[in-house]
Chain A
């Protein structure tokens, strides 16, 4: 790979990529929603990264003198706890800030896991064809035959309820989408001239698959990744809500909601805020995803 002749072409390829990137950004920034989404998402990332500095208290720090204190603007509110406290006197604001870490973590891990494994499996199935392809696709059909949340629930029940296991389960459930996409793209590209040429030139299958074909199938995968980033966050929160995701006292938003359910009438803030946090985060990611799709796939561009 590091032979001398390739030094020059890489440079020009980089330049080409830069141009592509610039074009991509031009389209992306035209989309007002996408930019708002990006800004909000960056804010969440900052919150997550600097949670230790921003959050007024630790996520599990208990204030025994303030169980279920309401938010400041409500009667009985306390400036120490801007968004109030939960049942064991933990500051809601701090927990929400720390919670952003878990949601982003879930999104990143699930997407990378399913993207990585999905691409490999889809590549092999699409490239190899034959019985291997059939077998792989049947397994994917089996996974798709179950409603994804139900399957994830059953998987977590097997693995034991925890955030890590919830992520693994969600990654497995999302797998088939990546496999199918990659496989379809590979099958489409496989017969094209440049692949045939490369094969005739004696390029080995692995290199052919990952270096030659893969870069040309990336767009749909990126769009899918953006989509499943938000789905992963929602599913993890749903599992947490059903008691099968992150376990308390982890300040994961879905888990916080599950814990807060009994206070639905007495302390609205412990129920409302985690939900708002989930909604806004997912919304921001979906806005970005839309922008991403439009920018990557001019055919689908909307006004």
Chain B
């Protein structure tokens, strides 16, 4: 590391700001430390925020704030008729970052693309296992090893991806973080110097921001890439102030120690709205939080019992106490932002009297059950414990005795999958790509019983509908089928659908052009401060 000049910033107060057209510094109060800076090794959004979303580009990318795909390092592409070959024409004149630890001698080309994918695909590639415990988690998770046969350089600016089978979402996959393009020249230099692990610690990419320094668990510093192929970013210095504690993040935002807080505490939303220096952006999240009954276990195999319990839950109280208003009551298993959301469906009313009666009709008396509460905070459930306590109290009113249990997170995920699980599980899901299938099939399909289908619910009618919808390409037809599937879901009530969270971003008033990413990321190219 070498000495850097003092970074003047908005932090120094308005007096200085007004005085000079200084470099603009943007401080982001990030919620955690990145695991590393090679995005292909990890799956956490926090890591992607610090690496792929600022430092790297991909062949194709999602347009900021949307789910639409746009060309990036690839200018155009074509697909062979059999759907097995994808040919990409690469952009010319794209420069990798010049930093104090690396100076590129050539522009971005096909070698970099081949390197970035072959290291993940080819078990014998010298970079396949470049630090201890290397694993290409997303690449594997997307079944790329079986899908991708080879990545071939045709000429310096043409690359061909050869697949083993046709796959419609292939282009969308290449917009994901694991598909970030790294510099082969940099990698070669590191290998020669015997410092391969630096690839994961000092990233070099083509993206809008250059990595400057990382002080573990404290600060990450970036500088705008003055040669960025889309034009230099509006801000000059980007700083991630790592602040895991939500109330501290809020304090820092208020003190103008940072300009954006990605996850404000629901309890602080009111104060943020009232503060004249702050503003709040919100968007409905791509997620759902639910309570899944085990539909294989009596008496929860009885629709009437499930319905009755659903009617016993006071969702508004949960919204008030757990989400502090930062949520929406869920009636369907998919969030309203996803196409085919069936708004005609009516939610089960909150009616403890009727619920008690229904339980009696079903012949259930003195029911004792367990409610599983997750030990972690998730967007779809900011406090599962508290939610469980509220549901417990609600159930008590209809004569059901509920006990709250919890396990360590890994254990929780494992045990909740078991078909003979005792109790109803609080869990949720955040969408990957905005397709209804990503919710309905993954969470409620027959194939997922004993896995991610926590209700262990296999309904032929429902399953047929979603299977049919998956293979046809006509949007209108698919929408109809999914809407019908939601009707079946509501009738059968394998879950109590609880809430969709609303995503909030708190920032200083002078932050301009920030856009909420539907996939939960934070992209700072395009953001400006006044």
Judge if A88 is at the interface, Cβ distance under 8 Å.
yes
Quote the shortest CB–CB distance from B395 to chain A (angstroms): 12
Stretch at the interface among A36-44, A257-265, A295-303: A257-265
- Which chain B positions have C-beta within 8 A of A261? 247
Task: Tell whether, in the assembled complex, residue B317 and residue A248 are in contact, meaning their CB atoms are under 8 Å apart.
Answer: no
Q: A62-B390, A88-B389 are in contact. Are A262 and B247 (CB under 8 A)?
A: yes
Measured in the bound complex, the distance between the Cα atoms of B251 and A88 in whole Å is 24
Quote the shortest CB–CB distance from A193 to chain B (angstroms): 57
Q: A160-B408, A261-B247 are in contact. Are A88 and B321 (CB under 8 A)?
A: yes
- Which chain A positions have C-beta within 8 A of B210? none
Closest-by-CB residue of A relative to B390 is A88
Measured in the bound complex, the distance between the Cα atoms of B265 and A67 in whole Å is 16
Measured in the bound complex, the distance between the Cα atoms of B271 and A247 in whole Å is 29
Quote the shortest CB–CB distance from A296 to chain B (angstroms): 44
Quote the shortest CB–CB distance from A41 to chain B (angstroms): 31
Task: Tell whether, in the assembled complex, residue A262 and residue B386 are in contact, meaning their CB atoms are under 8 Å apart.
Answer: no
Task: Tell whether, in the assembled complex, residue B386 and residue A248 are in contact, meaning their CB atoms are under 8 Å apart.
Answer: yes
Measured in the bound complex, the distance between the Cα atoms of B250 and A262 in whole Å is 10
Judge if A13 is at the interface, Cβ distance under 8 Å.
no
Closest-by-CB residue of A relative to B270 is A266
Contact of B406 among A89, A157, A247, A267 (CB under 8 A): A247
Contact of B317 among A60, A64, A264 (CB under 8 A): A64
- Which chain B positions have C-beta within 8 A of A67? 320-321
Quote the shortest CB–CB distance from B324 to chain A (angstroms): 8
Judge if A283 is at the interface, Cβ distance under 8 Å.
no
Closest-by-CB residue of B relative to A67 is B321
- Which chain A positions have C-beta within 8 A of B479? none
Q: A64-B317, A89-B321, A266-B270 are in contact. Are A249 and B389 (CB under 8 A)?
A: yes
Task: Tell whether, in the assembled complex, residue B267 and residue A62 are in contact, meaning their CB atoms are under 8 Å apart.
Answer: no
Closest-by-CB residue of B relative to A260 is B267
Residues of B381-425 at the interface with A, using a CB-CB cut-off of 8 Å, are: 385-386, 389-390, 393, 404, 406-408
Most chain A CB inside 10 Å of its own CB: which residue of B246, B268, B321, B406: B321
Q: Classify chain B's interface size.
A: 20 to 34
- Which chain B positions have C-beta within 8 A of A263? 267
Judge if B302 is at the interface, Cβ distance under 8 Å.
no
Task: Tell whether, in the assembled complex, residue A64 and residue B268 are in contact, meaning their CB atoms are under 8 Å apart.
Answer: no
- Which chain B positions have C-beta within 8 A of A64? 314, 317
Measured in the bound complex, the distance between the Cα atoms of B268 and A111 in whole Å is 41
Q: Classify chain A's interface size.
A: 20 to 34
Measured in the bound complex, the distance between the Cα atoms of B317 and A266 in whole Å is 19
Contact of A87 among B250, B386, B407, B408 (CB under 8 A): B386
Task: Tell whether, in the assembled complex, residue B385 and residue A248 are in contact, meaning their CB atoms are under 8 Å apart.
Answer: yes
Most chain A CB inside 10 Å of its own CB: which residue of B247, B270, B408: B247
Task: Tell whether, in the assembled complex, residue B320 and residue A266 are in contact, meaning their CB atoms are under 8 Å apart.
Answer: no
Measured in the bound complex, the distance between the Cα atoms of B409 and A157 in whole Å is 12
Closest-by-CB residue of A relative to B248 is A264
- Which chain A positions have C-beta within 8 A of B268? 265-266
Residues of A85-117 at the interface with B, using a CB-CB cut-off of 8 Å, are: 87-89
Measured in the bound complex, the distance between the Cα atoms of B271 and A267 in whole Å is 12
- Which chain B positions have C-beta within 8 A of A243? 375
Measured in the bound complex, the distance between the Cα atoms of B250 and A266 in whole Å is 12
Contact of A88 among B247, B267, B386, B404 (CB under 8 A): B386
Measured in the bound complex, the distance between the Cα atoms of B324 and A267 in whole Å is 13
Residues of A263-287 at the interface with B, using a CB-CB cut-off of 8 Å, are: 263-267
Task: Tell whether, in the assembled complex, residue B390 and residue A264 are in contact, meaning their CB atoms are under 8 Å apart.
Answer: no
- Which chain A positions have C-beta within 8 A of B267? 87, 262-263, 265-267
Contact of B385 among A62, A157, A247, A267 (CB under 8 A): A247
Closest-by-CB residue of B relative to A64 is B317
Measured in the bound complex, the distance between the Cα atoms of B405 and A247 in whole Å is 10
Task: Tell whether, in the assembled complex, residue A87 and residue B271 are in contact, meaning their CB atoms are under 8 Å apart.
Answer: no
Measured in the bound complex, the distance between the Cα atoms of B267 and A264 in whole Å is 9
Quote the shortest CB–CB distance from A261 to chain B (angstroms): 7
1/0 contact string of A69-91 vs chain B (CB within 8 Å): 00000000000000000011100
Task: Tell whether, in the assembled complex, residue A265 and residue B247 are in contact, meaning their CB atoms are under 8 Å apart.
Answer: yes
Measured in the bound complex, the distance between the Cα atoms of B406 and A66 in whole Å is 27
Quote the shortest CB–CB distance from B390 to chain A (angstroms): 6
Measured in the bound complex, the distance between the Cα atoms of B407 and A157 in whole Å is 11
Quote the shortest CB–CB distance from B374 to chain A (angstroms): 13
- Which chain A positions have C-beta within 8 A of B246? 262
- Which chain A positions have C-beta within 8 A of B407? 160
Quote the shortest CB–CB distance from B249 to chain A (angstroms): 11
Contact of A265 among B271, B393, B406 (CB under 8 A): B271
Quote the shortest CB–CB distance from A271 to chain B (angstroms): 10
Task: Tell whether, in the assembled complex, residue B389 and residue A248 are in contact, meaning their CB atoms are under 8 Å apart.
Answer: yes
Closest-by-CB residue of B relative to A61 is B393
Closest-by-CB residue of A relative to B389 is A249
A-B contact pairs, 28 of them (CB 8 A): A60-B389, A60-B393, A62-B389, A64-B317, A87-B267, A87-B321, A87-B386, A88-B390, A89-B321, A160-B408, A243-B375, A247-B385, A247-B406, A248-B389, A249-B385, A249-B404, A259-B386, A261-B247, A262-B246, A262-B247, A262-B267, A263-B267, A264-B247, A265-B251, A265-B267, A266-B267, A266-B270, A267-B267
Residues of A within 8 A of B (CB): 60, 62, 64, 67, 87-89, 157, 160, 243, 247-249, 259, 261-267
Q: A87-B267, A160-B408 are in contact. List 20 more A-B contacts (CB 8 A).
A: A62-B389, A62-B390, A64-B314, A88-B386, A157-B408, A247-B385, A248-B386, A249-B385, A249-B389, A259-B386, A261-B247, A262-B246, A262-B247, A262-B265, A265-B247, A265-B250, A265-B251, A265-B271, A266-B267, A266-B268
